[in-house]
Amino acid sequence: MTAATHGSTIGGASVEPTSGTWLSPRPNASLPTPTELWQAVGLAAGLTLAARLLLPLTSGFGGDDRHYIALASSADAVVPSPFAYRVLTPWLVQMIGTSPVPTYHALTLVFLAAAGVFVYLITRGIGGGHMPALLATFGLLSVRGWLFSVWNPYLADPAAMSLTGAAFVALVWGADLLLPVVLVVWAYSREVWAGFALPAYAWMRLRFVDRLAIVRVAVICLPALITMLILFRLAPATGASGFARATDYVVQGVLDARLDGLRFWTAYTFAGSLGIWWLLALARPQVGRGLWWWLVPVFGQFLLGADWSRFAMYAFVVVMPVGAMAVWSHPRRNLLLVLVLLQILPTAADLVVDGRLQLNQLQPSVWVTMTLMAATLVVLVQPYVGPHLRRAVQLFLANRQAKH
């Protein structure tokens, strides 16, 4: 089995792709020790618990959450598509058999904490060390877009994002045997799983057209595809069903809602999701190479719904690991770490001013995050642009003095 199409860097040494058998994991780029792994688990659990204790909880179910609570409360509930197909957490709630609302809440917190551990493992899998991987976990679990799921834990996204993380862990560590199982479970949470084929192929291929990689991806994805088609066929739903939902009418409705004020919605998408981490990740685009193709299906979701900032959160499996590694290797690391700590300010600003977190609203967090992003950009480019700028200024002043 070919583990990857690129080498990764571990402690300064290049680790090239290696070959093995179909079921063997890829060579571990930076295998965490049991102690390191427990530290990651403790950090993820601690941050999630702290967020739950410090943040208020949404009151009432007035949006998508009402559909998921209905599914969790009754096996006979019929809700509109596509909510009717996102049944993983509602089914788990029914299997546990306790009160639906607090059980759904508890499961969401478990999913959110698990995603923090998964982003740690992805970072280690693409060559990051222990501290950058912990930074990725801290950054994810404290960013405003993530904390929205703590404020409103009754959506499908926490389960879906956790399984997104699990799938990418299996991919970067070469655990092909686990991938079909993870994708099948993922298919019960959200349809975005289907885009996984693109980064999976980009990660596995040896050449631009690699038949073996195509077959591997097809075998990995086929069980999840069958699962999704069965859900589309059998799950009771109102409104357009299955693929009929992705019609010109739906796409046109989204475009009508977002093309008016496109500049604002574009800025809001990035500020309201992963904030400064988008810029940090772009500072090292060569890391994780094939995984970047995941952004194509992530942004493709924008045609099927208007919650662009929520959809953009699914990029965390690429943006957070790469961004953390960029911070750790940057000559202005300390300044960037300060900015990472300050990313708690957008959430605090919304709570102080509005008392709650909202989507698709011009809250104070948007302006605070954009300010932090501007500061991050300056810190990122200063070590490379600063010397040239100083020389240009010195040359300009010298020329002026010479003329006088």
pLDDT value of residue 404: 59
Q: How many CB atoms lie within 10 A of CB 70?
A: 18
* The pLDDT of residue 388: 54
In the numeric block, the tokens 């992530």 are attached to: 298
Which tokens in the block code for residue 181?
């199982």
As a whole number, mean pLDDT of residues 21-32 equals 56
Give the pLDDT of residue 376. 94
Check residues 251 and 93 and name the one with the higher pLDDT. 93
pTM of the model: 0.86
- pLDDT, position 82: 83
Report the pLDDT value the prediction gives residue 3, as an integer from 0 to 100: 38
Reply yes or no on whether the pLDDT at 187 is more than 80: yes
Q: What is the pLDDT of residues 203-246, one digit of tens each?
A: 988 888 889 999 999 999 999 999 999 998 888 888 765 555 55
- Going by the DSSP 8-state scheme, the letter that residue 58 receives in this structure is -
CA nearest to 133, candidates 246, 12, 10: 10
Which helix (H) or strand (E) element contains residue 46?
Answer: helix 34-54
| Exposed e or buried b per residue across 27-45, where buried means at least 16 C-beta atoms within 10 angstroms of its C-beta | bebbebeeebbebbbebbb
pLDDT grade, residue 250 (50/70/90)?
A: low
> Residue 265 above 90 pLDDT?
no
pLDDT category of residue 5 using cuts at 50, 70 and 90: very low
CA neighbours closer than 13 Å in the CB half-sphere of residue 391? 5
Report whether the peptide linkage leading into residue 82 is cis, meaning its omega lies within 30 degrees of zero.
yes
Alpha carbons 269 and 263: distance in angstroms, whole number: 10
The end-to-end CA distance of the chain, in Å, is: 71
Q: Read off the pLDDT of each residue in 370-374 and give the average, rounded to a whole number.
A: 94
pLDDT at 18: 38
pLDDT at 266 over 60: yes
Pairing label, strands 8-10, 13-15 = antiparallel
For residue 11, the model assigns a pLDDT of 34
Measuring CA to CA, how many Å separate 365 from each of 339, 345, 362? 15, 8, 8
Nearest in space to 195 (alpha carbons), one of 311, 97, 96: 311
> Which of residues 79 and 21 earns the better pLDDT score?
79
% of the chain exceeding 90 in pLDDT: 56
pLDDT value of position 326:
93
CA distances from 297 to 167, 193, 304 (A): 15, 9, 11
Query: What is the residue-averaged pLDDT of the chain?
Result: 85
Report the alpha-carbon distance of residue 373 to residue 99 in Å, rounded.
Answer: 42
User: Where is 10: in which H helix or E strand?
Assistant: strand 8-10
Residue type for position 248:
D
Q: Convert the pLDDT of each residue in 148-177 to its tens digit.
A: 999 999 999 999 999 999 999 999 998 888
- The length of the chain in residues reads 404
Average pLDDT of the residues in 245-262: 64
pLDDT class of 64 with cuts at 50, 70, 90:
confident
Give the pLDDT band of residue 360 (cuts 50, 70, 90).
confident
pLDDT in tens, 292-327: 999 999 998 888 777 888 999 999 999 999 999 999
- Residue 256: pLDDT above 90? no
b/e code 199-221 from CB counts within 10 Å (16+ = b): bbbbbbbeeeebeebeebbeebb
